[in-house]
Structure 1
Amino acid sequence: MKTSRLNKEIVIECAMELVDESGINGLRLNKIAERLEVKSPSLYTHTGSITELRHTVVGRAMEEFRAQLVDALLGRANLCAFVELGKSWVTYAKKKNDFYIVFYQKEYIETYERKISHFLRAAFERIFFTCELTDKELVQVERVITNYFRGNTNDFVESFDEEDLISDLEILYNGILQNFTKIAQ
C-alpha cells in the first residue's frame, strides 16, 4: 500500500488494522512501515513512540465504542435503553475483541475513564432517572455493569446467546431499580 503522502491519520488507520489482525502486542512500527511501504524512521514524525501510538489507537477504539453505545441509546428509555446498550456492548466486544480486552488494562484506565466511564454514568443517570442516583451510586452501577461485561467477554465471543443476555440484563436492571429506588416518606 504505497502512500504518496504519509500523515498521522493514515498511520493510525494502518495501526488499527494491525491491532484487529494481531492484537495490541502485535502492533509494531516496522509492521506499519512495511504495510505502508515506507521506512520505519519516517513514522516517528507522525506517531511518536510505539507507546504513544498504542494509546492513540486504543483511545480511537474507545471513541468508536462510545459512539456505538450512543447509537444504541438513541430514542430509547428505561429497560429498552439498558438492553440495547448491553447488546451494543456485546456486539463491540465480539467484533473488536482485540481492542475491547485492552480497554481495562492498567495503562489505559485513565483513557477509559475519560472516554467511556463518564459517558456510561450519564447514560445510567438517564436510564435510571426515576431513582435519582447520586454520583456514588452511578459509579456503583457503572462498576457492576462493566464487571458483568468484562467477566463474560469470552462467553460473548465464543457462544453468544441473545436471549440469555437479555435475561441477564433484565435481572440486572430490576436489581438496580430495587436497590436504588428511594422510598418517599
Structure 2
Amino acid sequence: MVKKILGTVLILALLSVAVVQAIEKDRSEDKIITQPATKNISVEKMSGIKVGLKAPDFELETLEGKKVKLSDFEGKKVMLNFWATWCPPCKAEMPHMQKFYEEAGDKIQILAVNIDPKNNVAGFAEEMNLHFPILLDKDDKVMKMYQILSIPTTYFIDKDGIIQNKFIGAMSLDKMREFFENQ
C-alpha cells in the first residue's frame, strides 16, 4: 500500500514538472527574460530571482574542491548556469557553453552550478570535455536561493553584480553571444 502511494506521488511530481516545462515553452519562442521594461514577458510572473536585482552571493566548491564565491567575480561579467547530468537540454547546451567559454576567454566568467552532485559529475565533465568551472550545490542551498524550478536556467550578471538577463532552457552558442554582447 505504501509503495503504491509513493509511486503515485512520484508519477504526479514528474507529471507536474512536465506540465510546467510545457507551459514555460509556450510562453515565449526563445524563453528570454530581459530588463523589466520588456513587454513580451512579465518578469513578475516567472519563477526565480528577478532581472534587475543584485545576484545573491554564494560559496560552493568546484569539482577539484576549490571554494568559489560569486562575489569573487565582481567587476567581471558572469554567466551563471544551473544544470544536472540527467537533464537532456542541459546535455545539449554543454558543447555550446564550452565553445563560448573558449571564445570569451577572460571577458566573461562561466559558473555552471550542478544540482545533482551525487551523480558522477566529474565523469560527465570529462566525457563532454568541459573545462569551465563546475560548482557542486551539495545541499541545494544555491538552487533554493535562486528559486530554480526548471533546468537549465541561466543568469547573465553584469560587472556590478546585477542580473541583466535570464534564460530558461537550453541555450545555443548564438544566444550566449547575444546576451554577452547586450550587457
Whether TM-score is above 0.5 comes out as no
Specify which structure has the higher proportion of helix: 1
Structure with the higher strand share, 1 or 2: 2
- If the TM-score is normalised by the length of the shorter chain, which range does it land in? under 0.3
Q: Which structure's CA Rg is the greater one?
A: 1
What TM-score do the two structures reach when normalised by structure 1? 0.26
RCO higher in structure (CA 8 A, sep ≥6): 2
